[in-house]
Structure 1
């Protein structure tokens, strides 16, 4: 499986898991969603907003890569998050709609990338204005890893609230193959 094919799988996994997480979270009321449960970003809503903030920040950085200027054009028009703990959406329905839209943008973006694109480097400044120059494929992997890390936290928070999101393993989406 090529690096691009791995990222295509991760984009599908991201969308699938977000769908499951948001379906489970939709069964909770506002009080349960916003209750501070001691997580890095406090509540379920706070953590879901953080994942969205992180995705927007990284996708805007990626949009400077020559191969991404077209595919991430709509993401570039989103407002810049002001902090990593910013609550972009207090309304769960609006947050859920934005998440679903962004997941579609990620899938389309990954579909347009090539192996050559992934082997290039990208320069950016982090949230503390520290410059960096890193391999593009490593940063794309970081995007997906960051989502998975914080979705794991949301999964635990949902479990504490009595909601089970079911199987969360990437393994469930890895296709069966026969050796040739």
Structure 2
């Protein structure tokens, strides 16, 4: 289904996307970051927090490291403000990169199990599918952020994978 090289490329893409996103978020006033825009997670900050929380919960499952605590309802407030978010975003991107560098192809063909608080049960799915899900979840919510940034009068990050710089 996928290879370790795919996961490494997607981790690199995610870091690039997040590095661009950070610049656009820093350029906005706090009122714009927290203004409810009617999105599923409310505001730009709520959505950015949920995106970070999702990455953190999945990488904690994959690398067996510490997770964020709380569930989806608490995900919108994982960081009180942008400065906390910026620091934690770097930490989680570092974890995703380190984890991706350990992946070989053979292990991706097996199952992966975790406890899902959302379903309140143990879940087992193909490991490759779980990895694809993590990266797809990122892309989905960064798309929402792109729209909210544009609606706020901001420019938004370039999100085309084909424009990922080779040296990033």
Q: How far apart, CA to CA, are the structure 2 residues paired with 1:114 and 1:78?
A: 23
> Which structure 2 residue ranges, 5 or more long, are not aligned?
none
Instruction: Please report how far the alpha carbon of residue 79 of structure 1 lies from its aligned counterpart in structure 2 after TM superposition.
Output: 4.0
Shift of 1:144: 0.3
User: Given the alignment of the two structures, is residue 142 of structure 1 paired with residue 133 of structure 2, yes or no?
Assistant: yes
Distance in 1 of aligned mates of 2:142 and 2:68 = 23
Tell me the TM-score normalized by structure 2: 0.90
The answer to whether the Cα contact below 8 Å between 1:9 and 1:174 also exists between their aligned partners in 2 is no
Question: Unpaired runs of 5+ in structure 1?
Answer: 64-68, 70-75, 176-180
Alignment of 1:140-179 (within 5 A): 140-173=131-164
Which residue in 2 is equivalent to 1:72?
A: none
Residue 41 (str. 1) matches residue 41 (str. 2): yes
Once the two structures are overlaid, the 10-residue window that deviates more, 109-118 or 122-131, is 122-131
Match of 1:100 among 77, 90, 113: 90
Deviation, 1:82, is 3.4
Structure-1 separation of matches of 2:120 and 2:78: 22
User: Superposition RMSD on alpha carbons, in Å?
Assistant: 1.7
Q: Which of 99, 104, 110 in structure 2 is aligned with 1:114?
A: 104
CA shift at 1:81, angstroms?
A: 2.5
What do residues 76-135 of structure 1 show as CA deviations (whole Å, max 9, x unaligned)?
Answer: 234413334431112101101100111011011000111112112111222221332111
* Residue 33 to residue 174, structure 1, CA distance change in 2 (3 Å): closer
- Decide which moves more: 95-104 or 159-168: 159-168
Larger radius of gyration: 1
- Contact 2:53/2:68 (CA < 8 Å) preserved in 1? no
CA contact (8 A) 2:16 2:164 kept: no
Q: In the comparison of the two structures, how many residue pairs are matched?
A: 163
Answer with 81-90 or 91-100: which moved more: 81-90
The two structures have a TM-score, normalised by structure 1, of: 0.84
